[in-house]
A and B are shown apart, each in its own frame.
Chain A
Amino acid sequence: MDPSRITLRGFRPTDADDLFSWAGDDRVTRSLRWKTLTSNQEALTFIKEVCMPHPWRRSICIDDRSIGFISVFPGSGDDRCRADIGYAIAVEFWGKGIASKAVEMAIPQVFRDFPEIVRLQAHVAVENKASQRVLEKTGFSKDGLLRKYSYLKGRIHDLIVYSILSPEIEVLPSHSC
């Protein structure tokens, strides 16, 4: 796919039908904390009440049509130096490098938009090999496997935690941290 067709932008109410087509698909939401959407109306509400007010959520678009999302949750207080990233895309676009391209585009934007963040992390279920490949391709390092870390769709999962560090920190001369 021509990478210039892939863009990131905020969600709009007009994305409701497209959002429903992939967020209404269990295969996509299986790896997310999101509940599978059940109607266009629910998708519209979700856009207005969750996606648009979100600290950092972008629609992954092909030709400006929403086919997925990337979200970043910054920490607060003692956790403000780190943020969590999550993403998903429609099944028909799996296996084409689109998620990797979107994550690659998002990383510098996130570090710029949240200057306090030095660590961007992602938690991926052990069995979600495709998502692990996305993170490895985009420069994340595997920090470790966290056993029975949290619930996903009613079951406790082992999660692998990946991280990528702020480029600005990495180019500083050696210092104690």
Chain B
Amino acid sequence: MAENLDKSGGERRVQESMEITLRPIELSDADDFMVWAADDKVTRFCLWDTYTSKEQALNYIKNCAIPHPWLKVICIGNRAIGTISVTPGSGFDRCRAELGYVLSYKYWCKGIVTRAVKMVASTIFNEWPYLERLQAIVATDNEGSQRVLEKAGFQREGVLRKYSVIKGKTKDEVMFSLLSTDSFV
């Protein structure tokens, strides 16, 4: 009981300051993970289907997220409210990596993902010196995500027509990139 009160009081305090941190994901994040992964409003633009069980979340965290080359949870007060990841290319494509992110719906439109993206952009090129290009591919109807990337200093390169299949429909996608030589906003 006291713990619940403490959490809700903690959330109120944190929302005022909105300090966000990035940290590695843990299995204990599974319940928080389900808050966004089980939400159709969030998964609407994702390639993957809405999660329906905590088992799925635990499986994903253990088998995909923890071994991922670069995946962090976005936290407020150490509680996960989303994830951000950088997936490197290999071979001929090793000069580039793809940025991905997802955020719990109630935290949308507060500039949180923009801040998280800027945090990643300011360190990833140092962590991976062979990386020259960070790119992000966003559906043309996902305006919120396009704004994130523009505010974070990414350059819009063009629209890739019918590039992906999302929830059974072919989608046009916008390609954005940030180079190691670009100056960040």
A residues engaging B (CB < 8 A)?
Answer: 33, 78-82, 118-119, 121, 141-152, 156, 161, 163, 165, 169, 176-177
Evaluate whether A150 and B95 lie within 8 angstroms (CB atoms) in the complex, with A78-B47, A156-B132, A177-B172 already known. yes
> Smallest Cβ distance from B179 to chain A, in angstroms?
6
Bound state CA distance, A151 and B167, in angstroms?
A: 33
Residue contact A163 to B161, C-beta cutoff 8 Å? yes
- B24 within 8 Å of A by Cβ? no
Bound state CA distance, A96 and B159, in angstroms?
A: 32
Evaluate whether A148 and B159 lie within 8 angstroms (CB atoms) in the complex, with A176-B169, A177-B169 already known. no
Residue contact A81 to B165, C-beta cutoff 8 Å? yes
- B54 within 8 Å of A by Cβ? no
Give chain B residues whose Cβ lies under 8 Å from the Cβ of A147: 133, 155, 157, 177, 179
Mask: chain B, 92-124; 1 = CB below 8 Å from A; 0 = not: 111110000000000000000000000000000
Given contacts A118-B170, A147-B177, 10 further A-B contacts (CB under 8 A): A79-B164, A80-B165, A82-B162, A143-B159, A146-B177, A147-B133, A148-B133, A150-B96, A151-B93, A163-B162
B132, B160, B169, B179: the one contacting A144 at CB < 8 Å is B160
A33, A78, A81, A144: the one contacting B158 at CB < 8 Å is A144
Give chain A residues whose Cβ lies under 8 Å from the Cβ of B165: 78, 80-81
List, sorted by A's number, 21 A–B pairs whose CB atoms are closer than 8 Å.
A78-B165, A119-B162, A119-B170, A142-B158, A143-B158, A143-B160, A144-B157, A145-B157, A145-B158, A147-B157, A148-B179, A149-B96, A150-B89, A150-B95, A151-B91, A152-B92, A156-B95, A156-B132, A169-B162, A176-B169, A177-B170
Chain B minimum-CB-distance residue to A80: B165
Residue contact A78 to B133, C-beta cutoff 8 Å? no
Residue contact B164 to A177, C-beta cutoff 8 Å? no
Nearest first, the 6 closest Cβ-Cβ pairs linking A and B are A144-B158, A144-B157, A148-B132, A148-B133, A119-B162, A143-B158
Bound state CA distance, A41 and B148, in angstroms?
A: 54
Bound state CA distance, A82 and B162, in angstroms?
A: 8
Give chain A residues whose Cβ lies under 8 Å from the Cβ of B179: 147-148
> Smallest Cβ distance from B185 to chain A, in angstroms?
17
Number of interface residues, chain B, beta carbon within 8 A: 28
Mask: chain B, 139-166; 1 = CB below 8 Å from A; 0 = not: 0000000000000000101111111110
B93, B96, B171, B177: the one contacting A177 at CB < 8 Å is B171
Bound state CA distance, A151 and B92, in angstroms?
A: 5
Residue contact A169 to B170, C-beta cutoff 8 Å? yes
> Smallest Cβ distance from B136 to chain A, in angstroms?
12
- B175 within 8 Å of A by Cβ? yes
* Chain B, 48-69, CB within 8 A of any chain A CB: none
Residue contact B169 to A148, C-beta cutoff 8 Å? no
Chain B minimum-CB-distance residue to A155: B95
Residue contact A148 to B96, C-beta cutoff 8 Å? yes
Evaluate whether A81 and B164 lie within 8 angstroms (CB atoms) in the complex, with A146-B175, A147-B177 already known. yes
Bound state CA distance, A151 and B94, in angstroms?
A: 8
Bound state CA distance, A177 and B155, in angstroms?
A: 25
Give chain A residues whose Cβ lies under 8 Å from the Cβ of B169: 176-177
Chain A minimum-CB-distance residue to B181: A148
